[in-house]
Copies of this chain bind each other. A is one copy, B any other.
């Protein structure tokens, strides 16, 4: 028996390798499949099946590529939204692997094709050992239900509620829960930080079980998690089994500052250093996306057609940065700045700086600053915000710049706020790109603000662009 979780950093995705004797399955592999191959080799396992729980939206899957390299069969529910599988199971049908059985459970709600797989061991053929729950049931949360059609959020919430109650709950309290995402994923609202749970523990703590049907639907309608723009591309690629990596990352050129400068005119510069370093000095017009945020926010600022130019804190970050983008289908990384920002700086090339501000300093000079909170709706409303703050999620900033401008009114400066300063750094860089001259990133964000017991408001604010965005999202 071999069992290992593989987490994909930044997107809180979890894939699984389950081996029994010489055979193994991989559940929900990501685009870069080397890690699965290595695990199999080191543990003398043959990957025989690749199971998909649903058509992932937040990363490109690696099913086809892994199948090509190993000869494994791709296994899914028999549903039109799985466009490419070799073995298509009916609801309740079982797959066998060296005595171990995996039973497919159709659990629509998050998406129509969503499938869970209950695992039964030889020694207890009727008692589920564990269940791969995909995005149907997370630890402490259920999947979001607004993705396929925001207008049908409540209908899908009802489906999901029933799937969880009728398909998962009967597996019993003892069942281990193995979801496709953990805390921090954009695929669920409030996933717990812990990675280990059971159906029985979820039954007593997870809102999906604690709420009534109506309460559950209301909660889902209240969720309003941002929908990253790259989801559409992911759905398209994953319908057909995903895509192999476009090229080895080592083939991307590293350009010296002047050459980098001359080429980047046609593209977007992403700076993956920390917000403080970015504030201290950066390539003009560059966008600040800290390294650990790149796996998500890279997809908010670039698409598969964007020419990306990277500024890294360290040459050793190249592989993870490029993979983070590749998992979002962003393959056109044109160049990396050789020598990093230091080389740029020392070459006398133009430099921009932006401002940071500490909480007490902002509190003291409150009157000079318009405050723009770029967290998501729930964070803003439920966790509290600075009195008088405008609100617009960082991802929607670029399309609503005029409204942002008008909302700031007569204030000469803007303080951008998020939870600790990363998204505010991104927002700061976007505003600066678009001509906002005096923008400061609140260091430590609301986390520091609240540690200092500075005053906060709760509840719905006058969101800058509420009408349009709601329209888009409905």
Contact = CB atoms under 8 A, between A and B. Distances in A.
Interface of A: 1, 3, 22, 34, 37-38, 40-42, 44-46, 69-71, 121, 123-124, 127, 129-130, 140, 172-176, 192-201, 203-205, 248, 250-251, 253-256, 273-281, 313, 315, 318, 336, 338-339, 341-343, 345-351, 353, 356, 358-360, 420-421, 443-445, 447-452
Greatest chain B CB density within 10 A among A45, A173, A174, A194 is at A174
Given A3-B195, A69-B250, A175-B201, 6 more contacts: A1-B194, A46-B338, A174-B200, A176-B201, A276-B277, A346-B447
11 contacts: A46-B254, A123-B205, A124-B201, A175-B201, A176-B201, A274-B277, A279-B279, A345-B421, A345-B448, A346-B448, A351-B444
A174 B196 CA distance: 11
Contacts of A356: 280-281, 353
B315 A42 contact: yes
A185 B29 CA distance: 33
A281 B200 contact: no
Given A38-B250, A41-B254, A198-B200, A348 B449 contact: yes
Contacts of A350: 358, 360
A339 B176 CA distance: 30
B443 A345 contact: yes
B40 A130 contact: no
A397 to B, nearest CB: 21
Contacts of A451: 346-348
Contact of A359 (B348, B358, B421): B348
A346 B452 CA distance: 10
B277 A127 contact: no
A203 B176 contact: no
Nearest to A442: B345
Nearest to A274: B277
Contact of A256 (B22, B121, B443): B22
A196 B359 CA distance: 45
B194 A174 contact: no
Contact of A251 (B69, B198, B199, B248): B69
Contacts of A71: 253
Nearest to A347: B451
Nearest to A338: B44
A190 to B, nearest CB: 11
Contact of A34 (B172, B250, B345, B445): B250
Contacts of A279: 276, 279-281
Contacts of A452: 348
Contacts of A450: 348
B280 A444 contact: no
A359 B347 CA distance: 11
Nearest to A275: B280
Contacts of A338: 22, 41, 44-46
Per CB-CB distance, the 6 closest pairs between chain A and chain B, nearest first, are A174-B200, A276-B280, A348-B451, A348-B448, A277-B277, A44-B339
Residue of A342, A348, A420 with most partner-chain B CB within 10 A: A348
Contacts of A255: 46
